[in-house]
Amino acid sequence: MAMITVEVVVNRGVDKVWKNWTAAESVKKWNHASDDWECPKATNELATGGEFSYIMAAKDGSRSFDFNGVYTAVKLYKLIEYEMEGGRKVSIVFNPIDKESTKVTQTFETETEYPEEKQREGWQAIMDNFKKYCEES
């Protein structure tokens, strides 16, 4: 499997960025790749060995899927690593640029169902939604 990296610079401090990334209620507001999808359910046990589970669903009810995994490393305000169901690995690095901006870099193992470019576009779109949510909230 190949690795893909997507990133954004969020114009908020790392504490707010971290909270919005990890709080289940916040995740439900930004965790979708397009406006016709949503994340109606999210649970998050943010600790090494803890589990998360998100439901990603088309707003018209036509499709949905579970996105879940187990945390393998959590370092407050710095790093989150997890393994998705199926064994693919993901790493998210939070890098404060200054007191009011944070670079979030996410690297993930690809899957084989969709072309790599489609995967990159989808994950980047979610990152862009995250940035927008953080900066507007």
Domains of the chain: which residue ranges? 3-34+73-136
Domain 3-34+73-136 CATH assignment equals 3.30.530.20: yes
Q: What is the pLDDT of residues 62-113, one digit of tens each?
A: 999 999 999 999 999 999 999 998 899 999 999 999 999 999 999 999 999 9
The token pair at 136 is: 């507007």
* Pick from 59, 29, 55: nearest CA to 42: 55
What is the Cα–Cα distance from 108 to 23, expressed in whole angstroms?
Answer: 21
Q: What is the pLDDT of residues 3-47, one digit of tens each?
A: 999 999 999 999 999 999 999 999 999 999 999 999 999 999 999
User: Which residue type sits at 47?
Assistant: A
Element (H or E) spanning 118, and its range?
helix 116-136
pLDDT value of residue 137? 86
Element (H or E) spanning 83, and its range?
strand 79-84
pLDDT value of residue 13? 97
